Structure 1
Amino acid sequence: MKLLHLLALACLAAAPAALPTSMPAWAQDSTPPPPRPDRDTTQDAATEPAEAEAPPDTSAPLTRDLVGPYLAARTAAMENDFEAAAEYYLRALAQDPSSSYLNDSALVTLLASGQIDRAFGLIDERIDAGGAGISSRLVELVTRARAAQDEDWEGLLAALDATGPGDPQGPEVLLDGMLRGWALLGLGRAADADAAFERVRAIPGTGELVDYNMALAKALVGDFESAAALLESDAPDQNIMSAVVEAQVLAQIDRRDEALQKLDDVAGIAIDGVAEDLADRLRQGEPVAFDVVQNPRDGVAQVYLTFATLLANDVDPNPLALIHARMASYVAPDMADARLMVAQMLQSVGQFDAAEAQFDKLREQDQMRPTAELVRIDALARADRMGDAEKAALALTAAHPELPEGWIALGDLMRQQEKWAQAVPAYDKAVALIDPADTDALWFPRYARAIALERLGDFPRAEADLRAALAIQPNNAQMLNYLGYSYVDRGENLDEALELIERAVRLSPDDGYILDSLGWALYRLGRYREAVEPQERAVALMSNDSLVNDHLGDIYWQVGRKREAEIQWSRALSFGPETEEDSQRIRAKLQRGLDAVLAEEAANGGRLPSEPGAAERSATE
């Protein structure tokens, strides 16, 4: 189900997901290299997961006056085009202002598209009309953010007091409790703020989260000793921001050596240099201020951002994550992390232009750190704006030539465009910059460089890179398959090739490319009957792939199923082989049979003689 419908359902249900206990690390390259040489990696559309069917919503309006804007809104919603969906839902809402479905949908899409002021206008209209027809929990979430942005702490407390008790251990109580703590601090009632934070600490599993917010609050009022005690932990930090917060706090109470140790614990985790810059200032004895939060409004934004992160990284990601991130950015417009999270979420649902608007804001605020640049490069590439992506990658490598991640991003862009000769030097730079002992960072650029080298015909170097990458990641099915298929395609090391591919199949038994490699390896070894079963499975998984069908045709021919072979070759031809040479070979097999084609190739140094008119046909196509 698309994000927008999940948002609407979540708001109607008013039940945020349970909080997770851990969050996965952000991955830089989300597009893996191809699974084998000389192959388009586009999967058969039939293999994509089907969209889940939602139960019919009897509250959705379907009258004649509403059907146009309503259907347009649903269409935009299916594309996660929040801005367009909001416009159409508002048009429909003008026809039926009391519809709960339309009110909730309009509010959700306004918030998701960042039109916060218009969302407030809609809320105010519904409140003036008696408050009917709109999700109360979502209204509470938004109106509290408005009070915090206006620094109306009395108003925020009044809104919190007006809320029902709810589940005493639910996430709503945790959110409201931390908002209460910051609101009380905004009124100068530090002791009452402490008591509010202590009450929500009673919710199981929330101790660290509450302690972090209490520490920020303590530090904001100058009680750095208490803040340090709340942040103290025997476990090494794995989060840059937590380490920076603790280091800044420790620096205020002249515990600089401990602060440096906290920063050393996270050295190399991130690429933005924030921890390294702070460590340099500490070593040089420069003054270090506590500036993670500068007022209670920043504290409220941190709460919304924390919930956005938790909801986004749940086992079943909660669609309210985007709205929480939008609220964080609204409350504290200068908070770069909030804008970056919004951009990443928009990018994840294909809204690349909307994500670019967030990057524009970050540039205006001079906050485009390397992490944000990498996210932007990926967003531009996914939007098929490869020229802009290249410019951004080149600018990043020029500004930060010491960052291997920038060179990897540039190499990936070149590889995706099959600019193999330009990809190799980019990966060369990355590999040279990475510590040889950091094998987790090293295997990917070596694998990606191997692909580019193999396409350039430099197989000895490609083979060396593939073997080095496999030494680090011996159970990577794609790499096992790539090296094995390379050997098969070259007619070399066929026994080892089969072993590599069989290992890949055991690791990824339903991968069509790997099954195709297994069938073709068995074919090249002359084990035709054994090749039939995996090749048929490959075709079942990738029915529109030209090469996979071509391979099955050759295998059928060798086991005497010649009519079926011709059918497969015809299918392969209809799906558009990658090159004219491939098309010529298939046509020759259909005209004269595989035996004749193999004989002609044997007599011509392994290549099929050119077909009359082939050059003209290729130029036309």
Structure 2
Amino acid sequence: MTTRLIPLALIALTAAPLPQGAAMAAPLLAQAEAPAAPDSERPAHRPEPPAPEIRGLAGPYLAARMAAIQNDFSTAADYYLQALAHADSDPYLQDSALVALISTGEMERATALAVTMSDQGRATDLAKLVQRTEMARTGRWDALVSAIGDVPASRGGDTSDGTVLVDGLMHAWAQLGSGRAGESLTEFKQLTKLRGAASMVNYHLALAKAQVGDFEGAELLLADPATGAHILGIIAHAQVLSQLERNRDAIAMLEETPGFAEEPYLVALRDRLAKGETLPFESVRTPADGIAQVFLTFGSVLASSDEPDPLALIHARLAEYLAPDLGEARLLAAQLLQGFGQFDLAEREFEELREQGEMRPIAELSRIDALARADRLADAEKATLALTATHPELAQGWIALGDILRQQDKFSQAIPAYDKALSLLGEDNPEARWFPLYARGIALERSGQFTKAEADFRAALKIRPDSAQVLNYLGYSLVDRNEKLEEALKLIQRAVDLRPTDGYILDSLAWAYFRLGRYQEAVAPMERAVAAMASDALVNDHMGDIYWMAGRHREAEIQWRRALSLKPETEDEARRIRAKLERGLDAVLEEEKANGGKLPEVHAPPEPTRAE
């Protein structure tokens, strides 16, 4: 029997009928409490409180479905289990609870539930997969071989959904666990004939060969970039080469790996090899480790698209359950959890990686980026400070620190971080320097150091003359300062040519025309900018100014009112818009001219005293 996994999306989102008995309990829905608070409101690194108990069946069931839709796996698991207390043999509830338990990492409870489902004769494909994973974890290889049974893939069967390939790889590893190495290797070779599967299967075949001592055969397979050009393949290849007394070749292979210097584990391997140490082959210590890598392989493939398949997390969780020290599985789980917005669950995985000494800088940078995207900037700043303290030689860590400080408007503090990054990068790799130069330029400009900022922008443009973002930022900065307006216009026009639909760049172009007094020419790009960024207060404010100077005063007032409704970033901006609505742009500009370029403060008369 093949294993057909059930996508989480189908369980969470399909409009399934209520479980048996739920319809009678429907009035209890009104009593249902809200799901647990979002992760951003929870203290990090603390156990999640259990979901509040809701009486009856319908309440827990509907609360569980809502939590599942929101990817709140812990809450969904608790509510599904509450619902199961009222309908303990409902297959939909059981499978939904199983998905939630696996997703949240509660594998012991998931295994117990899978056993219950099997005892009731209601085991789903996912429940069977969990039981097979437990067989591998406990070394019951003959039972696992029997449970999987005949594998159609190795006999030319259909592999269109990929599940047959999972079964085939698991079966081959189980054969090895049962002591039937010959049969195992034969099955791996048969699986390589499946369409599109050769590279994936050859990697596992190489691990299996190394496991039984055939290092020459393993090396031939891992030397193929299609098979071994990933972090785990590179590590296994280095270990195999060392076993073959080819440390020099292993060192050369490691040092030629892209990003080698940013992977401390690879650097440590190189250093051990350089000292003459023979590396043990420990990429796969047991067949269970091999099956863990099967799950990791499929999880990585499923996670590689722009919209990761929810099944990727199931595979990652099964992999780390089988091989708790497999850092790549924990990293994949953490990154997927971040993508689902479950930052507390992700932090547990990152914490475990740190405790294992497996926290790779690349992974930490990914975590920092996810924290920043979730607007958890204080946590991101702490993480970047820790990363730069642990790996002060890593330029990307200092760039990340500068970025996080800049996002918090700590511009003067961001400048030294970018200074450090640029000093580490040196002059030999200009392509790596353009972004920190651009970012430092922004921090300098926002800190009131425009001369230095301009030098950074121009240096970045020498490296990437067609960088629309740098062209736009420098051009707009010059326009805003009313300096070098003709050059600024050319810079911005070039940026528009590169990104003709970018609202920010169109706004810059319109504003350059405005500063040059070419008001009619400013209208069209400004209208395009407003169409692209209708909810931006500053863009709407600029549109109002341009309409006013083009003689369209009524339309200008409409845009200014809209800008006010969109809540400008600062009170000074809002005060200036109100002044334009009260007195018109001409009067405001005259007032600013007479006051050194700033709108004069208008103070209300003091309240009269009783004596007055």
TM-score range, shorter chain: 0.7 to 0.9
8 A Cα contact 2:288 2:323, kept in partner: yes
Distance 1:349 1:478, change over 3 A: farther
Q: Which of residues 352, 356, 362 is equivalent to 1:365?
A: 356
Distance 1:113 1:352, change over 3 A: same
**Correspondence for 1:407:** 398
Distance 1:614 1:249, change over 3 A: farther
TM-score (norm 1): 0.85
Alignment of structure 1 residues 200-349 onto 2, 5 Å: 200-233=191-224, 238-266=229-257, 268-269=259-260, 271-314=262-305, 317-349=308-340
**Correspondence for 1:141:** 129
Cα distance in 2 for partners of 1:555, 1:614 equals 34
Say yes or no: does 1:71 pair with 2:62: yes
Cα distance in 1 for partners of 2:488, 2:306 equals 38
8 A Cα contact 2:199 2:227, kept in partner: no
Quote the offset at 1:167 in angstroms: 2.0
Alignment of structure 1 residues 50-61 onto 2, 5 Å: 56-57=15-16
**Correspondence for 2:610:** none
Cα distance in 1 for partners of 2:19, 2:496 equals 47
Quote the offset at 1:433 in angstroms: 0.7
Say yes or no: does 1:355 pair with 2:346: yes
The one-letter code sitting in structure 1 at the alignment partner of 2:576 is: R
8 A Cα contact 2:540 2:562, kept in partner: yes
Residue deviations 1:27-62, cap 9 Å, x none? Answer: xxxxxxxxxxxxxxxxxxxxxxxxxxx775457787
Cα distance in 2 for partners of 1:235, 1:435 equals 33
Cα distance in 2 for partners of 1:217, 1:235 equals 17
**Correspondence for 2:104:** 113
Q: Which of residues 137, 148, 152 is equivalent to 1:160?
A: 148
**Correspondence for 1:47:** none
**Correspondence for 2:518:** 527
Provide structure 1 residue ranges, at least 5 long, that are not aligned to the other structure.
1-5, 13-53, 617-621
Quote the offset at 1:604 in angstroms: 2.8
Say yes or no: does 1:555 pair with 2:521: no
Distance 1:466 1:79, change over 3 A: farther
Say yes or no: does 1:598 pair with 2:602: no
Cα distance in 2 for partners of 1:507, 1:454 equals 24
Secondary structure of the residue aligned to 1:90 is helix
**How large is the RMSD of aligned CA atoms in angstroms?**
2.7
Cα distance in 2 for partners of 1:451, 1:501 equals 16
TM-score (norm 2): 0.86
Quote the offset at 1:593 in angstroms: 0.8
**Correspondence for 1:46:** none
Cα distance in 2 for partners of 1:163, 1:615 equals 89
Quote the offset at 1:425 in angstroms: 0.4
Distance 1:437 1:237, change over 3 A: farther
Cα distance in 1 for partners of 2:15, 2:259 equals 50
Higher mean C-alpha deviation, range 599-608 or range 200-209: 599-608
Cα distance in 2 for partners of 1:581, 1:458 equals 21
8 A Cα contact 1:10 1:320, kept in partner: no
Cα distance in 2 for partners of 1:340, 1:238 equals 18
Secondary structure of the residue aligned to 1:288 is coil
Quote the offset at 1:235 in angstroms: 8.0
The one-letter code sitting in structure 2 at the alignment partner of 1:478 is: Q
Higher mean C-alpha deviation, range 154-163 or range 305-314: 154-163
Q: Which of residues 546, 567, 589 is equivalent to 2:558?
A: 567
Quote the offset at 1:203 in angstroms: 0.8
Q: Which of residues 404, 408, 416 is equivalent to 1:425?
A: 416
Secondary structure of the residue aligned to 2:262 is coil
Say yes or no: does 1:150 pair with 2:138: yes
The one-letter code sitting in structure 1 at the alignment partner of 2:505 is: I
Quote the offset at 1:310 in angstroms: 0.8
Quote the offset at 1:540 in angstroms: 2.9
Quote the offset at 1:377 in angstroms: 3.4
Distance 1:55 1:370, change over 3 A: closer
**Correspondence for 1:22:** none
Cα distance in 1 for partners of 2:606, 2:341 equals 40
Distance 1:348 1:614, change over 3 A: farther
Quote the offset at 1:139 in angstroms: 2.5
Distance 1:315 1:270, change over 3 A: farther
Quote the offset at 1:267 in angstroms: 5.5
Say yes or no: does 1:128 pair with 2:116: no
8 A Cα contact 1:237 1:262, kept in partner: no
The higher relative CO (CA closer than 8 Å, separation ≥ 6) is in 1
Quote the offset at 1:395 in angstroms: 2.5
Quote the offset at 1:311 in angstroms: 0.8
Quote the offset at 1:321 in angstroms: 0.5
Cα distance in 2 for partners of 1:141, 1:505 equals 54
Quote the offset at 1:344 in angstroms: 0.9
Higher mean C-alpha deviation, range 505-514 or range 105-114: 505-514
Secondary structure of the residue aligned to 2:500 is coil
**Correspondence for 1:394:** 385
**Correspondence for 1:45:** none
Quote the offset at 1:414 in angstroms: 0.9
Cα distance in 1 for partners of 2:132, 2:528 equals 56
Cα distance in 1 for partners of 2:11, 2:108 equals 19
How many residues are matched? 567
Distance 1:506 1:558, change over 3 A: same
Distance 1:75 1:468, change over 3 A: farther
Secondary structure of the residue aligned to 1:573 is helix
**Correspondence for 1:509:** 500
Quote the offset at 1:615 in angstroms: 13
Secondary structure of the residue aligned to 1:229 is helix
Alignment of structure 1 residues 473-512 onto 2, 5 Å: 473-512=464-503
